[in-house]
């Protein structure tokens, strides 16, 4: 294989390898940590106000985070190609069913580059029983900035937002259902 072809192959594969690396980093971190830092532990007394956004869901409807003011929100940034992200989906389905009547909302934020097509194709194989919106660059960067610098870059990452719109906890990497359950119960 000549150098030009090899260089083109590497150039084409590099973005995918970087994305998988970020996903793998999050998966490794998720397996090593059992808890989460609260916004208070990060130095902002009383939590951090979650910035509102307007994103489009997979049905084409506009969704604002502020639509859920008065509810407890699990805001999960994920992708269909990310194994730890996919492992969390059944947990979020169960949590939405178990605590939805008490005010819990799960909102998935897909970072898939193929957009709605990828999510709809994925949903034919694995059910998602909560609303999914498509990320934009500004929202992604804003919510990444809420994470400590050493935890940025991987997915999944999730936030627990209280009824007043304040971020109470964040998680980077896979977490079992019990971790999310323990975080949301006191807020319901």
Neighbours of 52 (CB within 10 A): 13
pLDDT, position 42: 47
Q: Is the pLDDT of residue 39 over 80?
A: no
Confidence grade of residue 166 (pLDDT, cut at 50, 70, 90):
very high
pLDDT, position 86: 97
Q: Is the pLDDT of residue 50 over 90?
A: yes
Model pTM? 0.78
pLDDT, position 132: 98
Q: In this predicted structure, which of 11-20, 143-152, 171-180 has the lowest mean pLDDT?
A: 11-20
Q: Is the pLDDT of residue 2 over 90?
A: no
The answer to whether 23 touches 79, Cβ cutoff 8 Å, is yes
Find the helix or strand (DSSP H, E) in which 63 lies. Answer: strand 62-64
Q: Is the pLDDT of residue 24 over 90?
A: no
Query: Per-residue pLDDT averaged across 160-166, rounded?
Result: 97
Angle between helical axes of 3-32 and 83-99 (0-180°, round to 10): 40
Q: What is the pLDDT of residues 121-155, one digit of tens each?
A: 999 999 999 999 999 999 999 999 999 999 999 99
Q: Is the pLDDT of residue 67 over 90?
A: yes
Confidence grade of residue 23 (pLDDT, cut at 50, 70, 90):
low
Say which DSSP state 185 is in.
G
* Cα–Cα distance for residue pair 1/150, rounded to 1 Å: 39
pLDDT, position 1: 53
As a whole number of Å, the end-to-end CA separation of the chain is 61
Q: In this predicted structure, which of 32-41, 105-114, 157-166 has the lowest mean pLDDT?
A: 32-41
* Cα–Cα distance for residue pair 93/113, rounded to 1 Å: 23
Average pLDDT of the chain to the nearest whole number: 84
SS3 breakdown of the chain: % helix, strand, coil, rounded to 5?
Answer: 45, 20, 35
Q: In this predicted structure, which of 1-15, 107-121, 123-137 has the lowest mean pLDDT?
A: 1-15
Residue 47 dihedral angles phi and psi, to the nearest 5°: 100, 180
- Helices within the chain (DSSP H only): 3-32, 83-99, 116-123, 137-145, 177-184
pLDDT, position 138: 97
Cα atoms found within 13 Å of the Cα of residue 161, Cβ hemisphere only: 26
- The domains found in the chain, sorted by start residue, are 35-187 (3.40.30.10)
Closest to 111 measured CA to CA, from 144, 67, 150, 87: 144
């Amino acid at each position: 294989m000549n150098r030009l072809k090899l260089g083109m192959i590497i150039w084409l594969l590099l973005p995918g390898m970087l994305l998988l690396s970020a996903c793998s980093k999050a998966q490794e971190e998720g397996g090593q940590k059992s808890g989460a830092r609260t916004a208070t532990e990060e130095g902002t007394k009383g939590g951090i106000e979650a910035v509102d956004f307007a994103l489009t869901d997979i049905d084409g409807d506009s969704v604002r985070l502020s639509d859920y003011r008065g509810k407890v929100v699990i805001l999960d940034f994920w992708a269909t190609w990310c194994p730890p992200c996919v492992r969390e989906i059944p947990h979020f389905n169960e949590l939405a069913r178990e605590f939805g009547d008490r005010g819990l909302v799960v909102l998935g934020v897909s970072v898939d580059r193929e957009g709605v097509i990828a999510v709809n194709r994925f949903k034919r194989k694995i059910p998602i029983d909560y609303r999914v919106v498509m990320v934009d660059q500004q929202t992604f960067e804003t919510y990444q900035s809420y994470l400590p610098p050493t935890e940025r870059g991987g997915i999944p990452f999730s936030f627990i937002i209280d009824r007043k719109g304040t971020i109470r906890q964040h998680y980077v990497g896979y977490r079992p259902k019990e971790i999310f359950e323990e975080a949301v119960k006191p807020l319901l």
